[in-house]
């Protein structure tokens, strides 16, 4: 048997194994499933969140390795720390403003194709990640299972980054950098709108 | 393996991981205690996350570490499981099982070279703890030894597949994918801790 | 030759793990004692329902299952009971105060078994409804939404369950996997097994032919036993018709196994219009279950190779011997039963 064939069969099995809980799920109480679904939909329900997450991917694509992967590795962990504060009821001032500002700042970075060193870029992203996580943490619906909410929430965030990075790949194409900067401009404008709403 | 196959596999696995979730610890499959035991592993999120994190961690360090850790974790899980089944303590220890997958996820995301012995020792600790709780649950839920055998078979198959997958993914960009998976697992753990220690919990 | 030896090694090792797991299954799952029950409720005139209940047997005895209807229902004709195939067929009539729509039908005693019961309700002027109930939740609300597996999906679920609990079928497939030498042969073998058992499953379900349960089970056991010596020949590097053309053997014995699958699909009382769909979906379920099994074995083999795990010789040979000796055991046991022992 060829290697390729075996590999496909192998990967397919691993996938099936991961999919297996679908069957089990049919018998689940609705509470857990609801927790997972609300966790999954939460990060994409607010446009301000979506803009900032996708911008992380854009910026990573502009910065290239190692930031391209360092940011998506670091962001979920720091965001989860923010989420933990939110869950534990520890208040954080100006969360809405922080989120809107993050879209403005990250949008501006993408428009300007700013290339600070990795520590600075990581620190900037991490700082804003706290606000995003906190907002999600405080909004956990009553009665939902924390674990499933968390899993859904982390997966959705990661997929938004992946979408940003995937779109950011146009950077490698002719005219790509311009398109990417224009997309950053949209994020910036959106961020300014949410900032105006958060302050106003 | 071509780059395209890898991309495809990564995408499929990523999509596949999404529904891999459910809480309640016993799902009656209607197929008898052995299959109930198998499904138990998959619906117990901390167990499946810990198996994934440990398998990926060991596999990234090559076949030798992967093989050794695999043997250790399966034996430890079995010993822990039988002990738990015999003692049948009514405990859950959600914080402890959260810390295990959180820590393994972090080790995976950081991705530093460590000796085989260290990874195997992690496998020993994790296997004993999670196995013990599995065994206790098999006893209290009534699926008993046959159910525990189901969980152990599922564990052995899952851990083997995941470890081998990580060995084949250790080079190139797929290694990054594995590290990102580690960071996601850590993030889930951190959020879970926050939820466990929320006011009024 | 070397690569063949290595491949066989890995495959044997992979199979070993699965056989150990399979042996841990409860004894009740062995030997096909898990035929589902079937309850047909047909509204013959307003408020009057004809009941047909096919009750499976366990260990030769009628399983203690009893359908329970809403409070306003009472029996209006005495129950007749006769043996039918592998179970008992019971018929009676009830009349109820109102329509059964929205009411609960419960299968008493099901919670203490691992069997499923398929419930089919035909109300006047309504589409027929089908449900599968299991020990977890042995009742359905007629016409209610979101309960267990319903309608067409129920047949696929039955098929999936039937193969996963049919250790003898799985062992036969495992034996074939231990014999095939390359990818093309694997595809041919699995396909011909599938085609063959689909043919006889269809023939049996549509009522053209049937095989009595006892000799059939003995013959299925014999097919597993047959593979044992062939596996040993592969280890020794010898060859035979089976090793060169495993698909021929897979096809021939597949015809037998198809009759076996038919026992899992109870069609008595099914309206003839629904049989083709039931047959198709049941078969889909069986194939899915078989595919899951084959893919898990192949993936494990690949994983062992990637991890460079090599098993001691006795462990490698274990699956082959397990196929052979379980086949032998079942052959003797079922022949004994056939002879009235």
pLDDT in tens, A29-39: 445 556 677 77
Nearest residue to C331 (alpha-carbon basis) of C227, C189, C261, C180: C227
Instruction: For residue A76, list chain B residues with Cβ-Cβ distance below 8 A.
Output: 183-184, 186-187
Count CB neighbours of A153 within 10 A. Answer: 29
Q: What is the pLDDT of residue B17?
A: 41
Chain A residue numbers with beta carbons less than 8 Å from the beta carbon of C182 are 1
Kindly give, in sequence order, each residue whose CB lies less than 8 Å from that of residue B142, ignoring residues fewer than 6 positions away. Answer: none
Please state whether C126 falls in left (phi above 0), alpha (psi between -120 and 50) or beta.
beta
Q: Which residues contact B182 (CB under 8 A, 6 or more apart)?
A: A73, B53, B56, B57, B104, B105, B106, B107, B108, B109, B110, B111
Task: Please say whether the beta carbons of C171 and C326 come within 8 A.
Answer: yes
Q: Are B201 and B195 in contact (CB under 8 A)?
A: yes
Choice between C54 and B79, residue whose per-residue pLDDT is larger = B79
Return the partners of chain B (3 or more C-beta pairs < 8 Å).
Answer: A, C
Distance (Å, whole) CA C21 – CA A86: 45
Q: Print the domain residue range for B41.
A: 34-196
Crossing angle between the packed helical segments C275-306 and B144-168, to the nearest 10 degrees = 60
pLDDT tens-digit profile of B117-148?
999 999 999 999 999 999 998 888 878 898 89
Side-chain-facing half-sphere of B197: CA atoms under 13 Å: 15
Of the residues C4, C137, C184, C298, the best mutation for testing chain A's interface (the one with the most A CB atoms within 10 Å of its CB) is C298
The pLDDT value given to residue B15: 42
Going by pLDDT thresholds of 50, 70 and 90, the confidence category of residue B75 is: very high
Measured distance CA(C209)–CA(C188) in Å, rounded: 27
Indicate the pLDDT class of residue B157, thresholds 50, 70 and 90: very high
Three-state SS at C61: strand
Please check whether residue B150 touches C, CB under 8 A.
yes
**Contact assessment for residue B121 and residue B107, using Cβ atoms and an 8 Å cutoff:** no
Nearest to A21 among B20, B186, B196 (CB): B20
Q: Is B3 on the interface with C (CB under 8 A)?
A: no
CB contact under 8 A, B186 and A76: yes
Q: For residue B26, is pLDDT > 70?
A: no
Q: Is residue B16 part of a domain?
A: no
Q: Which of C7, C149, C302 sits opposite A9 (nearest CB)?
A: C302
Query: CA C248, CA C255: separation in Å to the nearest integer?
Result: 11
Note whether residue B6 is domain-resident: no
Closest CA to C37 of C22, C17, C52: C52
Record: contact B28-C309, CB cut-off 8 A: no
Enumerate neighbours of C (3 or more CB pairs within 8 A).
Answer: A, B
A177 has pLDDT over 90: no
Chain A: partners with 3+ C-beta pairs within 8 Å: B, C
> How many structural domains does chain B have?
1
CA triplet C169, C174, C179: central angle to 5 degrees?
130
Domain residues of chain A, as ranges?
30-199
The two structure tokens encoding residue C160? 């999936």
Q: How far apart are CA B29 and CA B36, in angstroms?
A: 6
What is the chain C residue with the closest CA to A11? Answer: C299
Helices (H), chain B: 3-17, 33-43, 45-60, 62-87, 94-110, 116-141, 144-168, 173-196
Summarize pLDDT for C191-213 with one digit per residue, the tens: 999 999 999 988 888 878 777 87
Which pLDDT belongs to residue B10?
A: 54
CA angle B2, B4, B9 (to 5 degrees): 100
Gap from C301 CA to chain A (nearest CA, Å):
9
Q: How far is C293 from chain B (nearest CA, A)?
A: 12
Please answer yes or no on whether A83 and B191 come within 8 Å at the CB atom. yes
Identify whether B11 is part of a domain.
no
What distance in Å separates the CA atoms of residue C260 and residue C32, rounded to the nearest whole number?
A: 9
pTM for this model (two decimals): 0.75
Residues of chain C with pLDDT under 50: 1-6, 24-33
Q: Does B79 touch chain A (CB under 8 A)?
A: no
**Which ipTM did the prediction report?**
0.79
In chain A, residues 22-81 whose CB comes closer than 8 Å to chain C: 26-27
Quick check: B159 pLDDT over 90? yes
Taking the C-alpha atoms of residue C63 and residue C256, their distance in angstroms, rounded to an integer, is 27
């Amino acid at each position: 048997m060829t290697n390729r064939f075996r590999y496909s069969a192998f990967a397919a099995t691993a996938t099936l194994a991961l999919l297996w809980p679908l069957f089990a799920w049919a018998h689940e109480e609705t509470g857990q499933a609801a927790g997972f679904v609300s966790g999954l939909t939460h990060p994409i329900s607010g446009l301000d969140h979506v803009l900032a997450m996708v911008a992380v991917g854009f910026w990573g694509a502009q910065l290239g390795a190692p930031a391209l992967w360092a940011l998506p590795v670091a962001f979920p962990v720091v965001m989860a720390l923010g989420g933990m504060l939110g869950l534990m009821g520890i208040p954080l001032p100006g969360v809405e403003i922080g989120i809107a500002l993050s879209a403005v700042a990250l949008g501006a970075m993408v428009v300007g194709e700013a290339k600070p060193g990795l520590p600075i870029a990581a620190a900037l992203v991490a700082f804003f990640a706290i606000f995003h996580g906190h907002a999600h943490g405080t909004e956990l619906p009553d009665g939902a299972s924390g674990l499933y909410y968390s899993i859904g929430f982390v997966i959705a965030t990661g997929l938004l980054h992946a979408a940003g990075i995937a779109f950011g790949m146009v950077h490698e194409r002719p005219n790509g950098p311009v398109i990417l900067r224009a997309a950053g401009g949209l994020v910036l404008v959106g961020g300014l709108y949410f900032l105006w709403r958060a302050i106003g | 393996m071509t780059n395209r196959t890898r991309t495809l596999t990564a995408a499929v696995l990523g999509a596949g991981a999404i529904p891999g979730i459910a809480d309640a610890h016993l799902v009656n499959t209607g197929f008898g205690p052995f299959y109930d035991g198998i499904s138990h592993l998959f619906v117990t999120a901390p167990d499946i996350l810990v198996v994934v994190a440990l398998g990926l961690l060991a596999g990234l360090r090559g076949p030798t570490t992967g093989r050794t850790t695999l043997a250790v974790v399966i034996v430890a899980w079995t010993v822990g499981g039988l002990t738990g089944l015999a003692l049948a303590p009514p405990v859950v220890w959600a914080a402890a099982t959260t810390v295990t997958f959180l820590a393994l996820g972090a080790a995976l995301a950081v991705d530093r070279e460590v000796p085989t012995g260290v990874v195997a020792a992690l496998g020993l600790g994790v296997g004993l703890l999670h196995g013990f709780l599995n065994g206790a649950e098999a006893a209290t839920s009534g699926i008993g030894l046959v159910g525990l055998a189901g969980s152990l078979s599922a564990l052995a198959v899952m851990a083997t597949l995941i470890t081998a997958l990580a060995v084949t993914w250790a080079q190139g960009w797929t290694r990054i994918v594995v590290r990102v998976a580690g960071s996601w697992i850590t993030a889930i753990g951190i959020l879970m801790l926050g939820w466990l220690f929320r006011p009024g919990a | 030759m070397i690569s063949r030896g290595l491949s066989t090694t890995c495959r044997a090792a992979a199979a070993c793990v699965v056989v150990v797991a399979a042996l841990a299954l409860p004894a009740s799952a062995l030997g096909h004692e898990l035929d589902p029950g079937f309850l047909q409720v047909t509204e013959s005139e307003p408020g009057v329902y004809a009941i047909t209940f096919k009750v499976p047997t366990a260990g030769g005895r009628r399983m203690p299952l009893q359908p329970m209807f809403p409070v306003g229902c009472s029996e209006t004709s005495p129950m007749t009971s006769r043996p039918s195939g592998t179970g008992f067929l019971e018929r009676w009539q009830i009349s109820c105060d109102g329509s059964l729509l929205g009411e609960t039908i419960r299968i008493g005693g099901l919670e203490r078994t691992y069997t499923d019961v398929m419930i089919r309700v035909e109300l006047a002027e309504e589409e027929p409804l089908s449900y599968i109930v299991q020990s977890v939740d042995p009742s359905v609300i007629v016409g209610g939404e979101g309960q267990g597996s319903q309608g067409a999906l129920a047949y696929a679920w039955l098929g999936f369950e039937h193969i996963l609990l049919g250790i003898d079928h799985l062992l036969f497939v495992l034996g074939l996997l231990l014999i095939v030498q390359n990818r093309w042969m694997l595809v041919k073998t699995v396909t011909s097994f599938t085609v063959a058992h689909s043919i006889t499953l269809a023939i049996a379900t549509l009522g053209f032919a049937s095989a009595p349960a006892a000799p059939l089970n003995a013959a299925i056991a014999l097919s597993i036993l047959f593979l044992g010596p062939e596996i040993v020949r592969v280890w020794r590097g010898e060859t035979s018709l089976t090793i060169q053309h495993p698909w021929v053997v897979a096809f021939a014995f597949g015809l037998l196994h198809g009759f076996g699958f038919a026992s899992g699909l109870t069609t008595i009382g099914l309206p003839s219009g629904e049989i083709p769909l039931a047959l198709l979906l049941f078969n889909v379920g069986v194939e899915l279950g078989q595919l899951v099994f084959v893919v898990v074995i192949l993936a494990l083999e690949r994983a062992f190779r990637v991890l460079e795990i090599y098993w001691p010789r006795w462990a490698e040979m274990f699956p082959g011997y397990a196929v052979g000796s379980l086949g032998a055991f079942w052959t003797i046991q079922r022949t004994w039963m056939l002879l009235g022992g």
